[in-house]
Structure formats: structure tokens, C-alpha cells
Structure 1
Amino acid sequence: MSTPNETVNHEELDEGRRTLLKLAGVGVAALGVASVAGAPVFAQGEAEWDKVFPKSEKVDHEKVSFKNRYGITLSADLYLPNNRPDSQLAAIVVSGPFGAVKEQSSGLYAQTMAERGFVTLAFDPSYTGESSGEPRNVASPDINTEDFSAAVDFIGLRPEVDRERIGVIGVCGWGGMALNAVAIDKRVKAVVASTMYNMTRVMSKGYNDSVTLEQRTKALEQLSLQRWADAEKGAPAYQPPYNVLKGGEAQFLIDYHDYYSTPRGYHKRAVNSGNAWTQTTPLSFMNMPILTYIAEISPRPVLFIHGEKAHSRYFSETAFAAAAEPKELMIIPGANHTDLYDQVDVIPFDKLQSFFDQHLSV
């Protein structure tokens, strides 16, 4: 039995990391090189445009920040229609994908929905992007669920917003977090999960639930040993590169690379764009499943959107089956997982608008 002062067997750790990444689904294209983005910057007000999508002339943009109930300061972009009426508007909170930042997909969703008449807020989850929290680039099913409710706290206090008409959009891994948050946060009137991942499921069971008990146990043994290594060093180790293509990768990994590691979607603060999660990030995800109470979103409506060709489609299909009415599953013909990140001719914005117009009506 190891003690804190004993030397960790690093060869064993390396083997365990490879096992974990291969079998426990930790990668999920949410990993970058083993470096960490710099300290967050909490800018507020107007700022230089630093998004991967063009700025809309139909929308007013403001950088804002607020705290969640754990005291972590979240950085966000607030989008408001610039032709808005004097009356209060419906609002939508947006985040995701897992390992992305608000300057990427969530910001595109938020800005586009603001063009369509909603007050919207795209935020960086705790410990990532411009949001606070140390160490950098660690995730938690509990804290990241809370982040959505903290965003609802903030936007519901804005004078432009009718707090009785707030919806949520979660993209990819934050689609699962959004559903988890809305199940307990009864202030939210409607929720959309786009190209959803259930991060606790994939980390604990692997893709298509393929991880055996023996493999899961081995992964947890190695993660436990990693805690000794981190404790000895006084800082967490970070995961190895994942969006570096060497040839022979599955198509979905190529798709992730083509978004996060090319001008299409690269952003220096994104975990997925050349940074990395901590080695021990999977621990709580492997022990605390989200979506246990997904049926309790009802009677509020939930809309699942997924690509027909997405490797992740089964996450939405099984979550849809577990959800209660009213619910809807929209499959986009020919679309893969990342098409729903930024392809404006593929993302069904007309459907999103009609869904929220109906369910966030006065």
C-alpha cells in the first residue's frame, strides 16, 4: 500500500492513463496538449471581438461576470437585440460544448438567438476560459450543473428580461449538464440539448457502454495513484494531446480536430484547442451520474437535436426515452456531431426559435 511519501510507479501510471483514455472515454475530443491556458481575465463591458464567428450588426454585445453559489466567478457574453422593445423579453442561457469556450459554439447559438428576439447569455463554465477557479481546466458534474443555474440567477435580474420566461440551450457535453440543471431548477421553462453528450456515462462506461467492470476498476486504480503524484507535486498533472492527428483516427476524432484545431473553431482559451483537462477530472464523473431525474423536467418541454450521422446520437436517443412528455427528438439528416457546433445551414435555428417562442410566450 502506498503512502504519500513513497515514489509513484510512473510506468504504471502511464499505462493506466492510456487505458483510461482508450477505455473510459475521457477523451471525447475534449482533450488538447498537456498545457494549461493562462489565468482568466475578467473583462466587463464592450471589448474587442474575439469570437470564431462574425459579429452581428443586429445585436448589442456586452461582457459580464457573476458568481455561482460556490463563489466561482463566471465570465459571460450578453447578447441583446438592438431593436428591442421597451417591454421585457424572454431570455436563453447557453453553454457548451464540453471543453469549449463562449467564443465558440455557444456564442454562435447565443448571438443567433438574440438576432431572433431573445436576450441571451453564453458563459464559460467554472475553471475554464475566462471564468475563475483553480486549478485550471477541471470539470465537475455538480459544479457545472450549478453553473447553469447561476447563469439563470444573473440573467433573471437583468432589467431587459422577464424572469418568468427563461430557457436553456446546452451543446454537446453541456447538453447533458443543461438537462441535469433544468431537472432541479424549476425557474427554467424550456430546454434544448443539441448534439448531446452524457459526460458521466461516457467517462464511466466508455462509448456505447463498452467498458467492463475490470477495465473500469483498472482506470480508477490509476486515477487513485495519480492523486498521490499530484499531491507530491502540489499541482495536478494534465492529460496528453488528443486533438493531434497521427493517422488512422476514427472519423469523429477527425471531425473534432477539424473544428477545434483549425481556423474554423480554434480559440486559444478552449480546453479542446491545444490545452487539456487535469488527469483526475474523470473521478467525479465516474461516480456521480447525471440525468437520474430527467423525467422531472416535465411538464416543461425538452427538445433534443442530433445529427443522423453523429457517433454520439445514442446519448440523445436514450435520454429522450427516459424523459417525460412533452418532449421531442429532432434528427438532422446527414449531419455529424460537430456540424451542430457551427454550421448555420445545418443547425435548425428556425426550430429553436419556434420552440422558444411557443414555450417562453407571455
Structure 2
Amino acid sequence: METAIQHQAEPTIGRRNLLKLTGASVAAIGAASMFTTASARAQNMTTEWDKVFPKSDKVDHEKVTFRNRYGITLAGDLYLPKDRTDRRLPALAVGGPFGAVKEQSSGLYAQTMAERGFVTLAFDGSFTGESGGEPRNVASPDINTEDFSAAVDYLGLHASVDRERIGVIGICGWGGMALNAVASDKRVKAVAASTMYDMTRVMSKGYNDSVTPEQRAQTLEQLSRQRWADAEAGTPAYQPPYNELKGGEAQFLIDYHNYYMTPRGYHKRAVNSGNSWTQTTPLSFMNMPILTYIAEISPRPVLFVHGEKAHSRYFSETAFAAAAEPKELVIIPGASHADLYDKIDLIPFDKLQSFFEQHLA
């Protein structure tokens, strides 16, 4: 079922801007390195409220940690409705966007859904934010998919949660991770992907699948040789800082800057807020399409939410076409990709609430 507005053609992305997210300069994702038990521990966690959104007086909040299947300790923010009494509640694991931290969009989504009656857990992915794992600021389609299931582990053991009523929300690049996790993790009863990116698709094929075989081969040649440089140095090389503007960027890159690099959304621990991924971060995404089994989410429902004017809209449209019923695609009129990170007047929280109330009943 599709609601809201009709599809429109995606804008064309020029090669200059395309190559900012493909090849060695991509803000993408990485092969997880060997790490010691000590390096898998969580980072020093803050105790003060350092979110980019105000604290709600309708929920209780606490910092928590939990481990994934690879032994990495993840850091999270748990939000519980103040009026929960002793009853067990439905719960939501919330992750994303890609390169963000739990103090940004995922925390806003989690706190807002907790205000609406859900126990929610926003968490930092492995190797980022306050979560453990070294080297810092790498990612993996496998490990980050596992991070969602580890969050489900945690929620299912919590005294306030009904473990048979757990859902997932993934935002931006973690929307694709969420769909991949739910396809294999049958404990999850419903999933929503907001302003979704398929990071394996954009990393391997570029925006609008425009990377040629020759460009892909050149990228892999460069990344492969960077491994020798990293091995010789004993530490990974990092890309230039993310979301700094030099002029002439596409509008969506300006939108990213306006979220991640201004008081609106800046957070010092976020990769996207002027920090960097390692140069070899695209490697583990190049050969691993994460949405291959999206149809296996069925018969559990999937909800896609995307902005009408988002450069990334085609990711949700393609995934929606590949998913099996029950499914729904909601297009938000006038919204860009980053608008659905934090604009309360555009994020359809009423729809998210009704969707999960219906399917986590």
C-alpha cells in the first residue's frame, strides 16, 4: 500500500558529487579490524544530558550498555514512559543515521516514541560514539546489522518489556541495516525505515547506480593498496573531515552540513560532525548487498517513510518494490532527506505510533 503523493523523477547527481561518496573519499563503511577484549569495551560514557534535542519530562532516561554477538560493548540511551506502572510494554530499537550518534536523530525518535507509550533504546553502532570497538570510526554491514539484534537481546531481557512485542526503527543508512536485521531476526514483529539509504548499493554502484565497471575497479584498486599503507603504518588512514563545505556542493550535501555542522544537530562524537571514517571503510560494503532477502520480512509488516524531495528517495522506492506484503510507503510532501532527521512537523510520529500500536498489539 502506498500513501501520500505520486512518485517523481530523482534529480541527477553530477560525477563530482557522486565521487564524494564513492571511491576512497567516500563517507561510507568499513571492514572491521581485529580488536582486543579491552578495545571492545564501551568508551567513557557521559553522565550529563548532551543530546541535540531537549529532555522530555514525560519519560525516564538512563544510559545502558549491552554486548553484541562479536563481544563489542554497545552504549545506548533507554527511554521509558513515566506512566508505565508495572505492565510490560512494547519496545523499539532505534538506530541511525549512518555516521550519527544516539544523541542526534535516533535519540529524538526514541524519546518521542517513549512519550507515546513504548520502551525505546537508541544506541551507537560498533566502533562509533560511546560504543566499543577499534579502530574507531569504521563500520560493517554484518556487524552493524548484528548491532540491531543485540539491541533486541537487551530489550527482550528488560523487566519493563514484553519481548513478544518488539519493533525496530532505522534511520538513513541504518534504515537499510534495520531491514537486513529484521529479515533474519524473527523476534522482531514490525520494522520502519525512515529516509532510508541502502549503503551497500550506494557504496558499490554510486548514486542512481551511475558508477561504471571501470570506476568500480579503480576504486577497489585504490582501496586494496591502501590496506598495505595501513598495515605498514600500523594504524588506519582517515578521510578528510565530513560535511565541511568548500563551495559548489549539491544541495543534499549542504543539507547535511546544515544539520551536522550547526547547533541544530552538531555532536562532537558523530563521524558526520567534522570527523572521519577510515579510508578503507567502503571495502566491506562493496560486495555485500544487504537487502537481498528483504522479502523474507513478510508476513511481518514494513513501513517506509521518505521525503518527496529527498535525493535518496529512490532507495525506499526500490526497497518497497522488492518487499513483500504487508508493506507501506509514505512520502512526506515537500520534505528533503535531512528534514526527517529532526523536523518534528514533518516526521510522521502519529503514523509511526499507529503502525507499531497495530502490529505490536
TM-score relative to the length of structure 1: 0.90
Matches of 1:133 and 1:287 in 2, distance apart?
Answer: 23
Superposition pairs for residues 323-334 of structure 1, below 5 Å? 323-334=323-334
Matches of 1:54 and 1:349 in 2, distance apart?
Answer: 17
- Tell me the equivalent position of 1:249: 249
Matches of 2:242 and 2:102 in 1, distance apart?
Answer: 21
- Tell me the equivalent position of 1:41: 43
Matches of 1:83 and 1:24 in 2, distance apart?
Answer: 50
Matches of 1:165 and 1:120 in 2, distance apart?
Answer: 12
How far has the Cα of 1:42 moved from its partner?
A: 4.3
Q: Relative to 1, partners in 2 of residues 1:42 and 1:310: Cα closer, same or farther, differing over 3 Å?
A: same
How far has the Cα of 1:288 moved from its partner?
A: 1.1
Q: Work out whether residues 182 and 297 of structure 2, in 8 Å CA contact, stay in contact via their aligned partners in 1.
A: yes
Q: Work out whether residues 305 and 332 of structure 1, in 8 Å CA contact, stay in contact via their aligned partners in 2.
A: yes
Q: Indicate the SS of the match to 2:169.
A: strand
Q: Work out whether residues 97 and 105 of structure 2, in 8 Å CA contact, stay in contact via their aligned partners in 1.
A: yes
Q: Work out whether residues 29 and 243 of structure 1, in 8 Å CA contact, stay in contact via their aligned partners in 2.
A: no
Q: Work out whether residues 19 and 219 of structure 1, in 8 Å CA contact, stay in contact via their aligned partners in 2.
A: no
Matches of 1:29 and 1:141 in 2, distance apart?
Answer: 11
CA deviation profile, 1:228-277 (whole Å, cap 9, x unmatched): 10001000000113311111110000000000000000000000001110
CA deviation profile, 1:35-89 (whole Å, cap 9, x unmatched): xxxx953438xx3101000000000000000000000000000000011131100
- Tell me the equivalent position of 1:97: 97
Size of the alignment, in residue pairs? 335
CA deviation profile, 1:149-208 (whole Å, cap 9, x unmatched): 000000110000000000000000000000000000000000000000000000000000
Q: Relative to 1, partners in 2 of residues 1:250 and 1:175: Cα closer, same or farther, differing over 3 Å?
A: same
- Tell me the equivalent position of 1:62: 62
- Tell me the equivalent position of 1:296: 296
- Tell me the equivalent position of 1:229: 229
Q: Work out whether residues 93 and 121 of structure 1, in 8 Å CA contact, stay in contact via their aligned partners in 2.
A: yes
Q: Relative to 1, partners in 2 of residues 1:26 and 1:79: Cα closer, same or farther, differing over 3 Å?
A: farther
Matches of 2:18 and 2:102 in 1, distance apart?
Answer: 31
- Tell me the equivalent position of 2:36: none
- Tell me the equivalent position of 1:35: none
Q: Indicate the SS of the match to 2:296.
A: helix
Q: Work out whether residues 256 and 338 of structure 2, in 8 Å CA contact, stay in contact via their aligned partners in 1.
A: yes
Identity of aligned residues (%): 81
Q: Indicate the SS of the match to 2:309.
A: coil
Q: Work out whether residues 40 and 129 of structure 1, in 8 Å CA contact, stay in contact via their aligned partners in 2.
A: no
CA deviation profile, 1:119-140 (whole Å, cap 9, x unmatched): 0000000000000000000000
- Tell me the equivalent position of 2:32: none
Q: Could you list the runs of 4 or more consecutive aligned residues of structure 1 that deviate by over 6 angstroms after TM superposition? A: none
RMSD between aligned residues: 1.8
How far has the Cα of 1:287 moved from its partner?
A: 1.2
Matches of 2:294 and 2:207 in 1, distance apart?
Answer: 21
Q: Indicate the SS of the match to 2:319.
A: helix
- Tell me the equivalent position of 2:127: 127
- Tell me the equivalent position of 1:285: 285
TM-score relative to the length of structure 2: 0.90
Q: Relative to 1, partners in 2 of residues 1:40 and 1:269: Cα closer, same or farther, differing over 3 Å?
A: farther
Q: Which consecutive residues of structure 1, in runs of 5 or more, have no partner in the other structure?
A: 1-17, 31-38
